[in-house]
Structure 1
């Protein structure tokens, strides 16, 4: 922990203050969106995770941003932020299970990570395995019995290698994780404290909880879930699940989505405007101007993501202000999920997203629970810093939202597929 005037108080309350006393703000930088990163202010972040390094079955990995990495790392460091390579992602997790179960390939991946960090002056590695013990992308190998213990072995060995090459705790290891702890044959891992001893931060992906894979419309990133409606998981339940399994709050970051997801309702949702859970079509529409149909080799199908970045909700005229919709769009606010949603009666398009109002509720709550800070997917999606400025107010003493009324049981969790176009999710 860094020294500060309030070091003792910070320790007493278990709050992480790793960079000049600031809460952690981790942003993901998608390499394929480099052109859209030009206006991003790295000083608004404490850590930047460059996504993604893609592992091979032999324990090597490649990053398609190698050609711009040196200058980008220099730029990130010049703004006082740390630079990490994120390895994995939705389409990059195919081989993790086989890699970590074999001592040889574990060693190869670790050696390649050490070399890459050293060569590129990085501050560490972020691992986005989607997911230990369960299927993510259709091409992924997974082993529900052995993935979680093998993952721990791998992380212990990676920590030892980092410490021996760079000095004790001089390089970071962070993880992108689901809304529930790692899977085991008996359910979610009940004790993840050993992971936390060798990992600096777990970044919870508290979004993509509901989407086009459901039968009904619903919130992309609910603060609370509504009992019996949508997936019974939420921002609040995810924090409870991880801390309840022994992960220290001050080593957790709360996942924030700078985007929303769209689907097509089967009926006019304005006829029941207080209900955001209504039957939807199975085909997902195109989202914003950056969305496009893409072919998933593993699924053997072509689909749209339906993603609407915050910046395009604003600059494509859907939201002329942060809290008002332009006709024919109608904006509603759900008091349980504490998120806004939009509906177009003409096209029957539904969009669930986060805005400054909903993010403030989440940020204030995460701070009240002693979390280290926030994680954002992704940095290129903001508009005039409207969202990052809310996130940067973490721990400023703002009002706190109420706790969940319907916390999940220990055996309930998020079984929906992760998103196919966003990640660190995913």
Structure 2
């Protein structure tokens, strides 16, 4: 059956069931190449990402300005759906840390969110405080022992938010690794559940820069482990949505090791031992079109120091086009992630390694994951194929009754939309 017809049938099925959700995060950094409407007919929620949490902790509140209007976002789809405001993100802790502290700060935080939602016309709120209780980006500066109060205060904050937004839906994004589920105790999870309408489980980034041995960043086994844990803590399966990443992750392995298996190969230090900052030995690559585009035969030298595929310029001779798309001569510009076709580079050609991985990757049938080790660069790659996405959705629906899905992020699969198509097909399949 044609995918567009499948999606139209899926949208009708979901409308009738009124319980399964098909959620896509729409981030402010990827807004140009968006999927055609015939591929998104079953999407039920779009999460505009992100509003900084500090805006809502302040008094008076800071004024959030969306990167697109609600009307513009709705026009990206050919059916009615929920447009939600997502607050937070991986590196956003400070506003939450302040907002959760006291009953008055929680009330202020909640009121500020409610007034913003009403002013802009959002249908729902997503709290993307990924690490309440500790293990956030600042865990070296603010140790977990100083955030223990957040474990009991987090449910109170959610309760206050739900009180002020009323009938609008409230969701949370939660970590996929058990070591990060600090706030989700057997005592507090039922209290959290009372306030939230659904939970977006980040069943990806299951390997990150805090690890020192390789494993899959996304897998069927890893997703099942996270889902099983959250159900055991008290979240109903009907509220859980499984996460799907539209990106691959890479990690540098230690010299002198041959990594013929995906699990357990030692890595270089991926974060600074003292402050937890990125060492540049790991990263990610999305499946967006710019990461597959060949550079033009003739490139002009940049007039404004921007460079790379998006800018369409190369750097002046002797200058490097850094991962950020700016020319320079620092190690950050010239090292790992540097764009080889757009200037001088001293580091590893991540783009070439990425395409080699996609061409020659292996499927870990036992874990349900895709991987590749580039012996020349010592780069370990981990990602999900479209086939594995469908298998993951089907397995978790059959095993745990999970029929909702979530993806990061809308425009990050623009090369051929194959991961988005697989997600939509899998979602429709378990809901019809």
Do the two structures share a fold, i.e. TM-score over 0.5? yes
Q: Which residue of 1 aligns with 2:198?
A: 201
* Aligned position for 2:182: 183
Aligned residue for 1:388? 420
8 Å contact kept, 1:95–1:140 = no
Deviation at 1:201, TM superposition (A): 0.5
Kindly report which structure 2 residues correspond to 1:19-418, keeping only aligned pairs within 5 A, or say none: 19-21=15-17, 23-37=20-34, 42-56=40-54, 57-58=57-58, 60-61=61-62, 63=64, 66=66, 68-75=68-75, 79-138=79-138, 143-163=146-166, 169=167, 171-179=168-176, 180=178, 182-183=181-182, 188-190=185-187, 192-224=189-221, 234-266=222-254, 273-282=260-269, 303=280, 306-311=283-288, 315=292, 326=356, 330-368=360-398, 369-382=400-413, 383-394=415-426
Q: Give 3-state SS (helix, strand or coil) of 1:183's partner.
A: coil
Where do 5+ consecutive residues of structure 1 fail to align?
A: 1-16, 164-168, 225-233, 285-294, 319-323, 399-426
CA deviation map 1:33-89 (0-9, x unaligned): 2234475755342101111111224263554x5252243344257532210010011
**Cα distance change on mapping 1:250 and 1:38 into 2, 3 Å:** closer
Aligned to 2:335: none
Distance 1:155 1:328 in 2: 41
Q: Indicate the residue corresponding to 1:166 in structure 2.
A: none
Change (3 A) 1:329 1:268: farther
Output the CA distance in 1 between the equivalents of 2:427 and 2:66. 36
- SS of the equivalent of 2:211 reads coil
Deviation at 1:336, TM superposition (A): 2.6
TM-score (norm 2): 0.70
> Is 1:261–1:307's contact at 8 Å kept on the other side of the alignment?
yes
Mapped partners of 2:418, 2:254: distance in 1: 33
Within 2, Cα distance between the matches of 1:327 and 1:54?
35
Task: With the length of structure 1 as denominator, give the TM-score of the two structures.
Answer: 0.71
CA distance in structure 2 between the aligned counterparts of 1:275 and 1:73, rounded to whole angstroms: 40
**Partner residue, 2:343:** none
SS at match of 2:91: coil
Structure 1 contact 73–122 (Cα < 8 Å) conserved: no
* Contact kept in structure 2, 1:43 and 1:81, CA below 8 Å: no
1:326 Cα deviation from its structure 2 partner = 4.9
CA distance change for structure 1 residues 46 and 395 in 2, over 3 Å: closer, same or farther? closer
1:133: Cα distance to partner?
A: 0.9
Distance 1:85 1:332, change over 3 A: same
Measured in 1, the distance between the counterparts of 2:70 and 2:259 equals 53
CA deviations over 1:190-240 (Å, ceiling 9, x no partner) = 55223222211111111111134322222111222xxxxxxxxx2111111
Task: Compare 309-318 and 18-27 and name the one that shifted more.
Answer: 309-318
What RMSD in Å do the two structures reach over aligned CA positions?
3.3
